[in-house]
Structure 1
């Protein structure tokens, strides 16, 4: 049986913090303990927020922490054509459609609907898509696209779930309520998620499942905030004929107020801690990891 393959996949849209350190070190520890491999992937599809200096800082911070990876770094921006091909596959099966409402228009539509009754929201608290994109004719869609109207390509969740049937995943960690073992996927809880945009031929959901499959990732170790996103990932894996890794979601590090750490939380930034004289060994202690054996 081949050794397991893990990955650490940060986005270069800010400097790494203690939460990233925990995830990177945990992946490295698990890879080392199992005789497996650790890959590094730079998830840089958001060209408006990703910056070269943040990518360089990722390499520097991981080197300082003692996290080594195997093989070349995979940068998502180098593989946009692969994601376009996957979008084409889904479109050929009638599973995606363009939606032309702006974020402001979507917010207005949701507000209108909620004057009558609560509008469904996804596990992250965002409202389901309320617009009419799915109802437009092919001619109407073509006319709007030809006019240069911005759009997002959304997954027809009802059609996709009907096609895929019941799905599950193997969870070696735990979810928000301690879920573990065989977890039933609930992709319908997310509504018609965005698969790509006019200016970006992919989304996080789409690119992550394609990259994991092409890189041979067998164990996805990541924060519990992405636990229910796995439902969408399992659906896309099924629709695209991709293998499913096992998942291990870990608890999130939080600040003194109980909030999830973010890249804007300067006090937990690795660069700031390193400048203050904190050592990599002390970082391990701060995130609750024992010294490697």
Structure 2
């Protein structure tokens, strides 16, 4: 007797370090369309763990922007900052299993070293609040098929080395938190930018170590500016102009290579989304890593 696949559960997980820019709304739209095309859930998570970078009012601005474009999420908003007990419980589990060790290397000492050389692995420093905590990574290959980028084969031990799961300032690292959050929210489809593809082998390593199911991944090309830089808050990308949401949404569908008919340009946002869900075809983005807004 054949088993039906579990219901599709996707998510969008912005950081409240400022308002959404065109690149982040592009990712939100793609993940929303993929979820709705599969008649699945689309969850909203606010990645607000990195408190020094959070901007006051940014979360409310993100929610308003998504609602302005009719990108309505399912259920309650999930905030990373409210999950500290879950993170602490899993860190303690890994500590007891001797997968963690304290690291006292400074950024200066590791400058120009892309792969952590394991200096503190056998140093025996106490795992305390004053240290960063690293995960001991075994030498093994992580292989998976990305929906757009094809087969990915990477050895995190060789490409990254032992990586940090809790920073020296006490903040849980993104690589660790996202694995716990996806598991707790039962996320089984992750649609995000290709700039995060490099992080995926570390996350899948953690998923395997913790016995978690592995989501399906789709890494989208990123939008770049005229200088070839990814649109981001670091490059001072402008906030989304939501004065004319239909015009912006039509442009995003073009950037996603969905070839919307010109008549759709004057449609309402709701009508545009209905068309986009019915015609969603991410394969037009296969093996693509960057998108120029100018074409």
TM class, shorter-chain normalised? 0.7 to 0.9
| TM-score (norm: length of structure 1) | 0.80
Q: Which runs of 5+ in 2 are unaligned?
A: 261-271, 276-295
Ranked by relative contact order (alpha carbons within 8 Å, sequence separation 6 or more), the top structure is 1
Answer yes or no: is the 8 Å Cα contact 2:118–2:162 preserved in 1. Answer: no
> Could you list the runs of 4 or more consecutive aligned residues of structure 1 that deviate by over 3 angstroms after TM superposition?
264-268
Aligned-residue offset at 1:131: 6.4
Q: Residue in 1 aligned with 2:28?
A: 24
- Structure 1: how far apart are the matches of 2:153 and 2:119? 30
Structure 1, 78-87 or 96-105: larger mean CA deviation: 96-105
- Structure 2: how far apart are the matches of 1:267 and 1:226? 18
Aligned-residue offset at 1:14: 1.8
| TM-score (norm: length of structure 2) | 0.79
Match of 1:133 among 120, 124, 137: 120
Aligned-residue offset at 1:62: 0.7
Distance 1:128 1:166, change over 3 A: closer
Distance 1:265 1:282, change over 3 A: farther
Aligned-residue offset at 1:105: 3.1
The 5 A counterparts of 1:96-115 are 96-107=100-111, 110=112
Q: Which runs of 5+ in 1 are unaligned?
A: 111-118, 120-126, 175-179
- Structure 2: how far apart are the matches of 1:212 and 1:42? 12
Aligned-residue offset at 1:198: 4.1
Q: Residue in 2 aligned with 1:154?
A: 134
Structure 1, 282-291 or 48-57: larger mean CA deviation: 282-291
Q: Residue in 2 aligned with 1:124?
A: none
Distance 1:264 1:229, change over 3 A: closer
Match of 2:10 among 6, 16, 19: 6
- Structure 1: how far apart are the matches of 2:213 and 2:24? 26
Q: Give the structure with the higher percent helix.
A: 1
- Structure 1: how far apart are the matches of 2:21 and 2:211? 35
Helix, strand or coil: the match of 1:183? strand
Q: Residue in 2 aligned with 1:56?
A: 60
Q: Residue in 1 aligned with 2:144?
A: 169
The 5 A counterparts of 1:1-293 are 1=4, 2-107=6-111, 110=112, 127-130=114-117, 132-137=119-124, 141-142=125-126, 145=128, 150-157=130-137, 161-162=138-139, 165-174=140-149, 180=150, 182-188=151-157, 189-200=159-170, 202-266=172-236, 268-270=238-240, 273-274=241-242, 277=243, 279-287=244-252, 288-289=255-256, 290=260, 291-292=272-273, 293=275
Answer yes or no: is the 8 Å Cα contact 1:99–1:131 preserved in 2. Answer: no
- Structure 2: how far apart are the matches of 1:267 and 1:184? 32
- Structure 2: how far apart are the matches of 1:259 and 1:61? 24
Aligned-residue offset at 1:48: 0.8
Per-residue deviation, residues 36-80 of structure 1 (Å, max 9, x unmatched): 110000011101111341111110111112110000011001001
Per-residue deviation, residues 218-261 of structure 1 (Å, max 9, x unmatched): 11000001112110011000111111010000000010111101
Q: Residue in 1 aligned with 2:291?
A: none
